[in-house]
Amino acid sequence: MRRLRVVVEAYACRPDMGSEPGIGWNVAHALAEWHDVDVITSARNRAAIERAASRDSRVRIHGVALPRGLEWLAAVRGLRLVHAYVWPWFAWRCARRLHRARRFDVAHRLTLGTWRYPSQLGRLEIPFVFGPIGGGECVPPRLRSVLGWRGRCVEGVRALAQQAARVDPFVRRSMARADAIVAASRDTATFIAERFGRDAFVLPAAGHDERAVPSRSSGGPFTAVTVGVLEARKATALAIRAFGRARAALPDGARLVVIGDGPERARLERLANAVAPGAVTFAGHLPRDAVSERLAGAHALLFPSVRDSGGVAILEAFAHGVPVIALDHAGPGALVAEDAGVRVPVGSPMSVVQGLAAALVGLANDPVRHKWMARNAKRAASACGWRGKAAVLARLLGRVAGERIAVSEESTQSGPVATPMREEEASTCQGDNRCVSPPSHSRGSRSPFRRQSPQTAATPGDRASPGVRSDRRPGSSGRGSDRSGG
């Protein structure tokens, strides 16, 4: 089966960072096992990504910068999102030039991973996959009070941006042009169906590097950690309050390590001094290797985020055999399995703090249960590696391009992440080895694919997918021409 030529748009893409830049790099790099990949990324990422890509010539890197009068936007904290919104138009110009020379088979928008930022790759008139994208998640109403005034302002601005994006013609065109949409969570899949009338596959964007996991440290006092930017939606205050509440029932010397930095740090430090003086350490922002070392020595990860489509830190903790305590909400609630961690029900701030504290005490004082969860956590991590996620996307790209990509048996050993391509089967693994299929709101037998090529419409063993629209012009090959408009 031939390798496809794939152009990947990944605005956030760096091998030396976690979160979304790490998703962009790791997925694009892993896709190169099955396809020939050209990555178009922000020029600001090019030096870091080329240092890593130099060891693997399968990935071609193309850095795109805005004109000199606009590139400065990326250096100003409040204007970076403006830079990210404008950048795809310049990425499309690069993709169009490359397409004339390379004749790509399929285009893939990988990052930024939110639906509010449009992509212009659909204008290449080749099959186009949009996602995984998040952004359909919201803060539970009962927990908005934990955000503080700054966090509530941020969520208010975000709500206005969501409203504006729903009627943004460029966003609507991106959704309409996509041959397949991949949502990072069920919340986002539901949102896309309700607002844009499109069904989506569900594939959590978070993953982890299966190749380099240091051995777990043993001994030492009970240590819980939190990992993430210290901003309101991460709700680190809930973790600190829970640790303070549980402290008397935890083993002597128990401590909480807060990894990350951000605008909430000063407020959180004051809170820690009030509820658990001397027992909370703020480690600040750490390199990825240092974060991995801290996780290897931890006994539990507290992840109380109130709005998140995934959680790379959750899978990194699982890889080290560290049980995770998270809210049963949005992406983290889907990733954390009952046998590898604790999902705390969403309720009032007080009930959530009580639930987090009870989970901490339960893990700290029951070594048999902790050991059992640690084993299951490693199993959960093995099912959600970057290679397995790339295998799912490789097959999806092949499907929309009219090809059947033969993913090796070896790659599917990471779990059920790399199996199906029909809409009722397309799946990926969650933390508890369950599969996420297209959301339950899918409208009957309507296909989540926008259109099908003749090769895939009726292949042996496949059920034909009804209701697939086609807006190709009669007699058009779908190659080589640029759709007008933007």
Question: Is the per-residue pLDDT at 413 higher than 50?
Answer: no
Q: What is the pLDDT of residues 1-11, one digit of tens each?
A: 578 999 999 99
- Identify the band that residue 366 occupies on the pLDDT scale cut at 50, 70 and 90: very high
Judge whether 198 and 230 are in contact, CB under 8 Å: no
Question: Is the per-residue pLDDT at 175 higher than 50?
Answer: yes
Closest CA to 276 of 297, 302, 307: 302
Average pLDDT (258-284) is 94
Question: Is the per-residue pLDDT at 59 higher than 50?
Answer: yes
Q: What's residue 237's pLDDT?
A: 95
Judge whether 125 and 480 are in contact, CB under 8 Å: yes
The residue assigned the tokens 């009726």 is 458
Please report, rounded to a whole number, the percentage of residues in the chain having pLDDT higher than 70: 79
Architecture of domain 5-134+167-207+386-457: 3-Layer(aba) Sandwich (3.40)
pLDDT greater at residue 238 or residue 461 = 238
Q: Tell me how far apart the alpha carbons of residues 114 and 187 are, in angstroms, rounded to a whole number.
A: 12
Q: What is the pLDDT of residues 22-37, one digit of tens each?
A: 899 989 989 999 999 9
Judge whether 316 and 296 are in contact, CB under 8 Å: no
Query: Which residues, 6 or more positions from 72, have their beta carbon under 8 angstroms from its beta carbon?
Result: none
- Per domain, the residue ranges of the chain are 5-134+167-207+386-457, 223-382
Question: Is the per-residue pLDDT at 264 higher than 60?
Answer: yes
Cα distances from 364 to residues 214, 215, 246, 351, 374, in angstroms, run: 22, 20, 10, 20, 13
Closest CA to 269 of 260, 338, 471, 383: 260
Least confident piece of the model among 47-56, 92-101, 163-172, 334-343: 47-56
Q: What is the pLDDT of residues 326-341, one digit of tens each?
A: 999 888 888 888 899 9
Average pLDDT (398-425) is 49
Q: Is the fold of 5-134+167-207+386-457 the same as that of 223-382?
A: yes
Q: Kindly indicate whether the domain formed by 223-382 is annotated with CATH number 3.40.50.2000.
A: yes
Q: What is the pLDDT of residues 181-210, one digit of tens each?
A: 999 988 899 999 999 999 999 988 888 776
